[in-house]
Structure 1
Amino acid sequence: MSGDAHDGAGTAGKAVVTGAAGFIGSHLVEALRRDGTNVVGIDRKPSWPTDEIPPSAESGSLRSIRADLVSADLSACLKNAATVFHLAALPGVRPSWTQFPEYLHCNVLATQRLMDACVRAGVPRVVMASSSSVYGGAEGTMNEDDLPRPLSPYGVTKLAAERLALAFAARRDAPTSVSALRFFTVYGPGQRPDMFIGRVIRATLEDKPIDVYGDGTQIRDFVHVSDVVRALMLAATTPEQGSSVLNIGTGQAVSMNEVLALTGELTGTTPDARYGPARIGDVRSTTADVGRARQHIGFTARTDLRTGLATQIEWARQALAQAPPHETASSSLMAPTRRS
């Protein structure tokens, strides 16, 4: 990730990042530490270590905690925290139809317990990851004032988590304000291998066919992970404006077919797209109205799709080159845990 991911100083005081081992979380932890912020990272992944890296002249400290938010001792984790970045969640639209109890556990119960602990601990600021999935399908741009109409159980749980956080912040006794950032389609180095761009790049580099669900004319607002990290940090450091919901995207959308064509240009290999039926819960289009984010936190996406795709393609090339021969591409392209 580029060194100009954030404008200005790091988060004042200690920052807690939930979902610290995930795609966005690992990039955020890097950026916070690079700005001199001391970080407590919480994740339940078995690969997330339980250790501590002391601060240095180049970066803030990192204390890693492997725990489930539903059962962890959160009061100890949150002690003296100035900001909590709540990114922990179970992602994915399609699995949410058959694994709903786990989505409730990870996305709703975990958020309820974290917010209760934040209010009790007196945490001033929570910045949480919401999703464009709360809108459901829409023609044209999606505005924060639009009535949410999620079309999948995943979208329902993200909306519930968002509303839970805002409800806790609205309590008279709550010292905590919340920024709920509705991320559109986030991509970049370390992206989950089941996501469309990750699948397209992997299949193209390995000269294998790629399944496209639908006719490829579906459009998405693809936003690079470096821009998302900058939005998170801006939401944490912008002078207090109370609780809010903000779209984080580019304000522009492109079709799946355009992504396929651009990947072909950048790799020199034409993707072998195999079109099939659309999946239940997938929406036709997502485009963010980004005016409120620009007004409230001064956020505007900087990375165009061509530049962003190039960063992910280069990362994928390196990951494939470093993978042992017996490993599959899908396992080798999982987001690595970033350590100092």
Structure 2
Amino acid sequence: MKYIIFGSEGFIGSHFKSYIEDNGLGEVIEYDIRKSLDFDVRKEIQIEGEFSEEDIIINLAAVHTTPGHPDYEYFETNIRGAENVCRFAEKKGIRNIVFTSSIAPYGASEDVKTELTLPTPNTPYGISKLVAENILKIWQAKSNSRKLLILRPGVVFGKGENGNFTRLYNALSKGMFFYPGRKDTIKGCIYVKDLVSFTFTLLSTFPKGVRLYNFTYAPPFNIKQIVYSICKVTGVKEPFLMVNGNFLKLSAFIIGALGGKRVGIHPDRVKKLMISTNVSGQKLFDELDGKYEFGLEGGIRDWFKDCGSQGLY
């Protein structure tokens, strides 16, 4: 069996690649613009070789960092990329696609989001991901033998992430983290190795059709619980100070204007810490009979072990 990974050089893509190879599941075909400028999902996809109906496409290619890109880049890559991946699958007769979407299509609010919640995206990234999901659903609907698994992950953490959890750990280790006005902000999250292994478990549970899952732990964790787990595992000092959120946003704006954005200090990131991503992973929890291989604290511990004495990155 062949696994064609679009976005193979990214954080999640590299973990999919390792899992497939380590478990001898089949041949990995890597497709990422970081490997070659010719491997650009915004253009017609051309991969030589024979493919079968049973081969699996894993589409991770996306522009996703927010803030970080002009609006058009999210639409150009995420929407056109989905269209080109579907055309490639049509051309090669491949009938299985895994698509990593996002929780961004739900939009920002404190209300709990399930897979049945009406998406109301309020960012270019969230809009582009929702459109991409529908492009893939149209591809699947053209043949009842096709299988589409859509993942909507929360914050994904693990080795190579260099994102939200890494920035949080770095701030904690330097004594520079303060709770921004509240400690109960819910942050739907999942460890990358759980995400990958759960994907293969779910792929084996249905022969055709469309399945959509929120990839977050259930019950959800709030920022205080996440901070406590990081501090417990890594040995850094747990913070207790809470600072007015508006003051932190203003400080981040000033620091950002002086060059702090280059090291990840941005008022929008402070704002994100103050708004819950209350996305329910109960459907996933039930499908797995509540059995997580790692979970939050176990995932952080495994991540810390993978990184050795270098902290978390």
Shorter-chain TM-score bucket reads: 0.7 to 0.9
In percent, how many aligned pairs have the same letter?
20
More helix by proportion, 1 or 2? 2
Q: What corresponds to 1:258 in structure 2?
A: 225
Counterpart Cα distance in 1 of 2:167 and 2:293: 24
Kindly provide the CA deviation profile for residues 145-193 of structure 1, in whole angstroms up to 9, marking residues without a partner as x. 1100113211111111111111111125x853311111122112221x2
Unaligned runs of 5+ in 1: 1-12, 51-64, 321-328, 334-340
Alignment partners' CA distance in 2, 1:298 and 1:16 = 29
Letter aligned with residue 26 of structure 1: S
Contact 1:122 1:176 in 2 (8 A): no
Q: Indicate how the Cα distance of structure 1 residues 289 and 15 shifts in structure 2: closer, same or farther if over 3 A, else same.
A: same
Query: Does 1:121 pair with 2:92?
Result: yes
**CA distance in 2 between partners of 1:175 and 1:95 (Å):** 39
Q: Aligned partners of 1:75, 1:299: CA distance in 2, in Å?
A: 39
Which residue of 181, 184, 187 corresponds with 2:151? 181
Aligned residue in 2 for 1:291: 283
Q: Equivalent residue for 1:89?
A: 62
Matched, 1:67 2:39: yes
Unmatched runs of 5 consecutive residues or more in structure 2: 250-266
| TM-score normalised over the length of structure 1 | 0.74
Could you tell me which residue of structure 1 aligns to residue 259 of structure 2? Answer: none
Runs of 4+ aligned residues of structure 1 deviating over 6 Å after TM superposition are none
Residue pair 1:17, 1:41 contacting (<8 A) in 2 also: yes
TM-score by length of 2: 0.80
Q: What displacement does 1:40 show?
A: 0.2
Q: State the SS of the aligned residue for 2:279.
A: coil
Relative to structure 1, is the Cα distance of residues 77 and 165 closer, same or farther in structure 2, using a 3 angstrom cutoff? farther
- Aligned positions, number: 286
Distance 1:42 1:214 in 2: 43
2:46 and 2:181 map into 1 onto residues whose CA distance is: 43
Q: In the aligned structure 1, how far is the partner of 2:61 from the partner of 2:76?
A: 11
Which deviates further from its counterpart, 251-260 or 112-121?
251-260
Show the counterpart of 1:132.
Answer: 103
Query: In structure 2, what is the Cα distance between the partners aligned to 1:259 and 1:88?
Result: 28
CA distance in 2, matches of 1:118, 1:183: 24
* CA gap 1:261/1:68 in 2 versus in 1, 3 angstroms: same
Deviation at 1:317, TM superposition (A): 4.7
The partner residue of 2:201 within 224, 234, 244 is 234
Q: Report the Cα distance in structure 2 between the residues aligned to 1:318 and 1:106, rounded to whole angstroms.
A: 37
2:22 corresponds to which residue?
A: 34
SS at match of 1:246: strand
- Paired with 1:178 and 1:293, the residues of 2 have a C-alpha distance of 20
Aligned residues of 2:213 and 2:281 also touching (Cα < 8 A): no
Instruction: Find the aligned partners of 2:140 and 2:112 in 1 and give their Cα distance.
Output: 28
Q: Distance between the aligned counterparts of 1:141 and 1:300, measured in 2?
A: 22
Whole-Å separation in 2 of the counterparts to 1:183 and 1:110: 19
Residue 308 (1) aligns with residue 299 (2): yes
Partner Cα separation in structure 1 for residue 296 and residue 102 of structure 2 = 20
